[in-house]
Structure 1
Amino acid sequence: MATENSNVSKAEEFKLLANKAFGARKYAQAIELYTKAIELNSQNAVYLANRAFAHLRREEYGSAIQDATEAIEVDPKYSKGYYRRGTAHLAMGKFKEALKDFQQVKKLCPNDPDATKKLKECEKAVMKLKFEEAIAVPESLRHSVAESIDFHTIDVEPQYSGARIEGDVVTLDFVKKMMDDFKNQKFLHKRYAFQIVLQTRDILRALPSLVDINVPNGKHFTVCGDVHGQYYDLVNIFELNGLPSEDNPYLFNGDFVDRGSFSLEVILTLFALKCMSPSALYLARGNHESKNMNKIYGFEGEVRSKLNETFVELFAEVFCCLPLAHVINEKVFVVHGGLFSVDGVKLSDIRAIDRFCEPPEEGLMCELLWSDPQPLPGRGPSKRGVGLSFGADVTKRFLQENNLDLVVRSHEVKDEGYEIDHDGKLITVFSAPNYCDQMGNKGAFIRFEAPDLKPNIITFSAVAHPNVKPMAYANNFLQLFS
């Protein structure tokens, strides 16, 4: 009995420390401390729901659902269990499952105005989804929106004073003027935006799903991770490391858009640089270059607000043309998410993926975009609820079987902007510092020098940006939960 009481009070101490860490936005530390509390007292639904909340903050929606479900099993009348699980379902775009959870919250807290409000938003989202499903055109009958656009017929008003493309060639002068306009929160004319996106589509469509990059001896190559609509931090990367050029090439490793509220400026800048010099800038698809994510996390709303509906469809189409992975000098494998649920995947299997579609929920393409490394060997369920977690042994085997030296991936916020795992064989690089204006993390990029391709990691801090909050264009219901 004494031991039991001592465990309960020790667990409570860990919970208080965890709450403190959570308040300081140290979510990984909070998760560790809540875990200690749960190990001492597994029958406390509050600890589980609190840990679910910390997982939500780290975008680990699969783990949040698991914890919230356990909290509900411990105490079926604990409304926060349903609330946390509903929030995680919403963040994953699983509106119907979220609706069931918020109906339960409302049942348990009938007079809570907050629960009522969230239930209403959830009902709206489900109604919208049903409507979209009802009017959706089958894949086989869909026409390419890109092929219906002729940007040459769009007039540019005489009073337009922004950047202009003369003829068909995107020049460095144009890119610099456009970037300056963006810094001053001016928009690019629709004609030129169409021209950039359509030219990028043509370039990307001609590429394989796995792109080989050759860096000559004595030359360098820079890899950046997620930028997530943080335009002013993107400009800072170029100030620190130079603009992309034949002699200063870059690879941006997915998740260019969403969350940050300057996603359009980011994507048009990257696409314009790609048009200016295709071998100066390489682009890989991330899990956020997809319709489902863009609908929820802000890019769709931003494009609609700054341009129009046609651009929403056009970007969705062009994102399906982005390559899925890159290999530098036959030695460094670069991918947004990670590795696979099966052994024996060869580079030729990745090359053979038909990528011209929305990302599926399982299989090689899904895993390339969504998976994460784990400290334990073997494979485990994904903390995100999509893809999987893979250990050092999986990384080592993949590298050996494909005669590679290193995996570079992005996809996860890291305090220092990067993290080296799996006995030095895997590096995570993340290039959105102070992510969402609240994580306090640094950003990083990696410079490789040929021939030895030793990674030189450069970190940097966030810079000021105009007072437009992250997620400003995100779906209503998501703003309620952020």
Structure 2
Amino acid sequence: MDMVVRWPEGGVVTVDWVMGLGNVLDYASRNLQPSQLPDVIPVSVADSLILAASKLMHREPNCVEVTVEASSRVVLVGDVHGQLHDVLNLVQLAGPPSSNCIFVFNGDYVDRGAWGFETYIYLLAWKVLLPHRVFLLRGNHETKFCTSTYGFEQEVIAKYKEYGKHMYRKLLGCFEGHPLAARVANCVFMAHGGLFRQIEVESSQKKGKFGKGYRSKKTLKLGTLEDLAKARRGVLDPSGTGSNVIPGDVLWSDPSLNNGLSPNQLRGIGLLFGPDCTQEFLEKHKLKLIVRSHEGPDARDKRSGMEDMDKGYTIDHVVKAGKLITLFSAPDYPQFQATEERYNNKGAYIVLEAPDFSKPQFFEFDAIKPRPKVSPYYDFVNVIDSDEELELGSGSDDASACSNN
């Protein structure tokens, strides 16, 4: 059987082409050396796929509106972190994307797992096939900082050798195009880290090129969907300051059990937001559910009082207006770790169906085992943990009650 993937004539991607791509990627991960991947996924094919998907996503707004018909269902997916075989399994379990099955993926497609490139282009193929039925939101690992630290850059270079740096640059450009969030069926908000602050534009004593400067308000206030719509997302590493502060929050923030909005000191970027913030955001935008991701079992292990991520999801806030859920879709995570004791967590995905799309149905699943043997692409023993302070951001040390007044 010919295993070489060829770009379809006229660039018209079909279901058979996407399914065939998935089969080739699975085969290659089990039977070929990583450096042999270009033998079955040529550079020209990867380039064409990345470009087609990038063009689609760059045209999408910061917060995509996912319109859902009564006959359709929606599958929500959290972090997958280069665990190709678990992603292939998840798509099979949930039923593949189609005209009546919408998928919204919540970022962190790469890093830590050994098949980030394969996972990412597989999901890009679904995006190109069904651009209004498949939505790929951005995670904090779709950044230059994380991918140069947690293995993805090294993975791409190892697999594509002399074309590796070229391919990595193409992928970084694609990362910049991912939308930051989605509003599903007018009742569910989905974003990788969660909520974000309001920023103000003010005249600066040292005026820049356009005569205005940005700063975070000293007293943090919760941002709105209108603020999110105006944020500048096309940057590789959104920071905790300036015009990139909202994307930085969206990608890096975490929920807290305590009320208020405060800097996320553990990560060094983003915010901690309490149940009162969840209530305010839901009430203001007439929503019933917030779904975020960003925290696997290793992250939750460091957060006293927060529920463990052993079943692939947690319900972190229950307030009058609705709920905040953390969803994590990478089972038996991380693939590589320094200790012999594993978390053995399940992954999960959420299905939303009529008549009430705000009522989540949770589906747990186990990791595909055994995983093909492969070496890691980063020093998982000595590298800094992604859940510890990164010294990327700055902000006020004072927690603020959520308010938009």
- Report the TM-score, using the length of structure 2 for normalisation: 0.76
Are residue 319 (structure 1) and residue 175 (structure 2) matched?
yes
CA distance in 2, matches of 1:226, 1:330: 23
Unaligned runs of 5+ in 2: 198-219, 297-308, 336-341, 385-405
Letter of the 1:425 counterpart: K
| Residue of 311, 317, 323 corresponding to 1:422 | 317
Q: Who is 1:162 aligned against? A: 4
| Aligned residues of 2:222 and 2:261 also touching (Cα < 8 A) | no
CA distance in 2, matches of 1:415, 1:381: 27
Are residue 369 (structure 1) and residue 251 (structure 2) matched?
yes
Query: Which secondary structure state, in structure 2, belongs to the residue aligned with residue 432 of structure 1?
Result: coil
Q: How does 1:442-461 map to 2 (within 5 A)?
A: 442-453=346-357, 454-461=359-366
Q: How does 1:332-347 map to 2 (within 5 A)?
A: 332-341=188-197, 342-347=220-225
| Residue of 141, 148, 164 corresponding to 1:288 | 141
| Aligned residues of 1:216 and 1:451 also touching (Cα < 8 A) | no
CA distance in 2, matches of 1:300, 1:435: 20
Q: Who is 2:343 aligned against? A: 439
- Greater CA deviation, 220-229 or 333-342? 333-342
> CA offset at residue 217 of structure 1?
1.2
Q: Who is 1:175 aligned against? A: 18
Unaligned runs of 5+ in 1: 1-158
C-alpha distance after superposition, 1:96-137 (max 9, x if no partner): xxxxxxxxxxxxxxxxxxxxxxxxxxxxxxxxxxxxxxxxxx
Q: Who is 2:184 aligned against? A: 328
CA distance in 1, matches of 2:373, 2:101: 32
| Residue of 349, 352, 367 corresponding to 2:230 | 352
| Residue of 34, 51, 62 corresponding to 1:209 | 62
| Aligned residues of 2:290 and 2:323 also touching (Cα < 8 A) | yes
- Greater CA deviation, 351-360 or 410-419? 351-360
C-alpha distance after superposition, 1:190-237 (max 9, x if no partner): 111111000011111111111000111132100000000000000110
CA distance in 2, matches of 1:388, 1:161: 46
Between Structure 1 and Structure 2, the one with more strand by share is: 2
| Aligned residues of 2:104 and 2:134 also touching (Cα < 8 A) | yes
Aligned residues: 320
| Residue of 175, 180, 184 corresponding to 2:27 | 184
Q: Who is 1:297 aligned against? A: 150
| Aligned residues of 2:6 and 2:45 also touching (Cα < 8 A) | yes
Are residue 467 (structure 1) and residue 310 (structure 2) matched?
no
Are residue 411 (structure 1) and residue 274 (structure 2) matched?
no
Letter of the 1:335 counterpart: A
C-alpha distance after superposition, 1:282-317 (max 9, x if no partner): 000000000010000011111111121101111111
C-alpha distance after superposition, 1:235-260 (max 9, x if no partner): 11012111112221101100000000
Q: Who is 2:285 aligned against? A: 402
| Aligned residues of 1:226 and 1:255 also touching (Cα < 8 A) | yes
CA distance in 1, matches of 2:92, 2:288: 30
CA distance in 2, matches of 1:316, 1:234: 21
CA distance in 2, matches of 1:205, 1:433: 30
Query: Which secondary structure state, in structure 2, belongs to the residue aligned with residue 212 of structure 1?
Result: strand
What is the alpha-carbon root mean square deviation over aligned residues? 1.7
Letter of the 1:473 counterpart: Y
CA distance in 2, matches of 1:481, 1:214: 41
> CA offset at residue 430 of structure 1?
0.3
| Aligned residues of 2:221 and 2:261 also touching (Cα < 8 A) | no
CA distance in 2, matches of 1:375, 1:354: 30
CA distance in 2, matches of 1:358, 1:249: 28
Q: How does 1:40-55 map to 2 (within 5 A)?
A: none
Q: Who is 1:199 aligned against? A: 52
CA distance in 1, matches of 2:382, 2:248: 29
C-alpha distance after superposition, 1:425-462 (max 9, x if no partner): 10110000011133211100000013411110101111
Q: How does 1:221-260 map to 2 (within 5 A)?
A: 221-260=74-113
Are residue 275 (structure 1) and residue 150 (structure 2) matched?
no
CA distance in 2, matches of 1:178, 1:441: 28
Please say which structure displays the higher CA radius of gyration: 1
Change (3 A) 1:291 1:449: same
Percent identity between the two aligned chains? 38
Letter of the 2:226 counterpart: S
Q: How does 1:124-143 map to 2 (within 5 A)?
A: none
| Aligned residues of 1:218 and 1:451 also touching (Cα < 8 A) | no
Higher relative contact order (CA 8 A, sep 6+): 2
> CA offset at residue 344 of structure 1?
4.7
Letter of the 1:356 counterpart: G
| Aligned residues of 1:162 and 1:178 also touching (Cα < 8 A) | no
| Aligned residues of 1:220 and 1:448 also touching (Cα < 8 A) | yes
Displaced runs of 4 or more, over 6 A: none
Letter of the 1:409 counterpart: R
> CA offset at residue 479 of structure 1?
4.4
Between Structure 1 and Structure 2, the one with more helix by share is: 1
> CA offset at residue 366 of structure 1?
0.6
CA distance in 1, matches of 2:98, 2:71: 16
| Aligned residues of 2:79 and 2:107 also touching (Cα < 8 A) | yes
| Aligned residues of 2:82 and 2:118 also touching (Cα < 8 A) | yes
> CA offset at residue 481 of structure 1?
4.7
Q: How does 1:101-140 map to 2 (within 5 A)?
A: none
CA distance in 1, matches of 2:373, 2:222: 49
- Report the TM-score, using the length of structure 1 for normalisation: 0.64
